[in-house]
Amino acid sequence: MDRVRDVRLLPKAHLHLHFTGSMRPGTLLELADKYGVHLPEALRGGEPPSLRATDERGWFRFQRLYDMARSCLREPEDIQRLVREAAEEDLRDGARWLEIQVDPTSYAPRLGGLIPALEIILDAVRVTSRETGVGMRVLVAANRMKHPLDARTLARLAVRYRDQGVVGFGLSNDERRGFARDFDRAFAIAREGGLLAAPHGGELSGPSSVRDCLDDLRAARVGHGVRAAEDPWLLERLARDRVTCEVCPASNVALGVYERLPDVPLRTLWDAGVPMALGADDPLLFGSRLAAQYEIAREHHGFTDRELAELARQSVRGSAAPTDIQEKIMVEIEEWLAL
């Protein structure tokens, strides 16, 4: 019988964590008090809100809560605090590598502009990575609700800072709006500049949105991607091309993509050979962090410790971590199995 080890001690990479959504609830309350922001009850603690974002009202509520939380990040020290605390939480959950996703245009108005905002974020990431020991990098994400020309601007900026901590380019927000192909030029700029392409797809929309990420944006990773489970041919393609799906089980249920945790198709993806990287998405709103996603795989999908270790390896292989760091984490995963 396979031993049951502490998943918090399992070395892993975290590839799907949004910037504001990584905040500790207590930090949000302190910043809201600091700036006189009145938070709705859903953000003031207790049980995480039930968002059910598969309908328009649910998604609007999710975005409203996220925007209110983001409005509490106003000074460089707020950014520095968020980044440090995100790294500390992930370190506690076994992360050795963290790629945090951010749209700097959302913070630019309060931080002196787009370039200063990104530089403040990258500086916080460098300092935090050095002081905590967590390998930490940034994935710049465009907002698909904005004009594709804005995404091109962001892609050029992301490439410009490739050697200062930016490793990838993403596309977030409601995938039911607009077309992935509208952002193909932005992703071409990012890829040609050496960045990893990691757009969202296959969450609120079905498998066609995953295919669009592959066909139009040439994704190396897909944020979420779980709806690919509905298309056997797509599963085969993801497995063949080694495209990592950043699967966030707790988020899927909180947003109403699936009714219950056992309904999230982890086993379907696993059995098809699709690489996965479990992620927490927005712990502030969904109430669980990285290690909890591995516990979900264990408790609700019957993953053994050896299978959890392989999930951790897949997260590392799907990351932008340098080869030597990947190899070091792989050794640590074997040491976990030897416990």
Here the tokens at position 284 are 């502030």
Domains of the chain: 7-337 (3.20.20.140)
Here the tokens at position 293 are 């996603």
pLDDT at 73 over 60: yes
The model's pTM is 0.95
**pLDDT per residue over 126-163, tens digit each?**
999 999 999 999 999 999 989 999 999 999 999 999 99
Q: How confident is the model at residue 199, as a pLDDT?
A: 97
Q: How confident is the model at residue 54, as a pLDDT?
A: 55
Residue 41 a catalytic site member: no
Here the tokens at position 245 are 């799906």
**pLDDT per residue over 15-25, tens digit each?**
999 999 999 99
Q: How confident is the model at residue 57, as a pLDDT?
A: 62
By the 10 Å C-beta count (0-12 exposed, 13-18 middle, 19+ buried), 230 is classed as middle
Asked if residues 278 and 222 have their Cβ atoms less than 8 Å apart, the reply is: no
Residue range 164-173: average pLDDT? 96
95-102 and 244-246 strand pairing: unpaired
Asked if residues 172 and 101 have their Cβ atoms less than 8 Å apart, the reply is: yes
pLDDT at 50 over 80: no
By the 10 Å C-beta count (0-12 exposed, 13-18 middle, 19+ buried), 7 is classed as buried
Beta-bridge partners for 231: none
Q: How confident is the model at residue 177, as a pLDDT?
A: 77
DSSP H helix total and E strand total for the chain: 15, 7
Q: Give the whole-number percent of the chain exceeding pLDDT 90.
A: 85
Asked if residues 190 and 160 have their Cβ atoms less than 8 Å apart, the reply is: no
User: What DSSP character marks residue 48?
Assistant: P
| Catalytic choice (89, 119, 203, 246) | 203
**pLDDT per residue over 257-301, tens digit each?**
999 999 999 999 999 999 999 999 999 999 999 999 999 999 999
24-28, 39-43, 296-300, 329-333: segment of lowest average pLDDT: 39-43
